[in-house]
Amino acid sequence: MTHRPDSHPIQSLKGIIGQPDQPVSVDDMTQACAAACKFTCTPTCDAQPVKAAHVRFDPARGLLIGTFEDGVTIACVDPCELAGRMFAAGARHGHVSMPDWREGDTAPAGGHRIAFHARLNELGSTA
């Protein structure tokens, strides 16, 4: 494989291992990328499927409560801690819903919503 500073390594792939003079097709590049991913992917990337969840506020207890579609529930006061615990359980940014202010007291405060989603997004981008 040759690499010029102005090109991506996959775009400049030359030949197939054992057959360096053979042209490389898009399928060959896809297979090479998939094989490379198996070795560079962290062990946790495929450990759990993404789970849909819902977060609401319990005004009586002052807790944020995250409930997964399978019934598992996690409760915390701190939205960032809840995001971390839910991320560890399989929740990902874009797969967690929350009631909005029109739904009454069960809607998390705006700051809690922002903190929760920011932390969940941050955890997802570093995984």
Indicate whether 60 and 121 sit together in one domain.
yes
- Alpha-carbon span 121 to 61, nearest angstrom: 27
Indicate whether 57 and 17 sit together in one domain.
no
Indicate whether 61 and 122 sit together in one domain.
yes
What is the pLDDT, as a whole number, of residue 64? 97
Q: Which residues partner with 54 through β-bridges?
A: 67, 97
Indicate whether 119 and 68 sit together in one domain.
yes
Say if strands 96-97 and 63-68 run parallel, antiparallel, or are unpaired. Answer: unpaired
Q: Is position 48 within any domain? A: no
What is the pLDDT, as a whole number, of residue 34? 46
Average pLDDT over residues 116-122: 95
**Domain containing residue 37:** 1-41
- Alpha-carbon span 97 to 90, nearest angstrom: 14
Whether residue 98 is predicted with pLDDT greater than 70 in this model: the reply is: yes
What tens digit of pLDDT does each residue of 51-79 get?
999 999 999 999 999 999 999 999 999 99
User: For the chain, what percent of residues have pLDDT higher than 90?
Assistant: 55
Q: Does the global pTM surpass 0.75?
A: no
Q: Is position 112 within any domain? A: yes
Which residues have C-beta within 8 Å of that of residue 101, sequence separation ≥ 6?
107, 110
What tens digit of pLDDT does each residue of 8-55 get?
444 444 455 555 566 655 455 445 544 444 433 333 444 568 899 999
Indicate whether 78 and 111 sit together in one domain.
yes
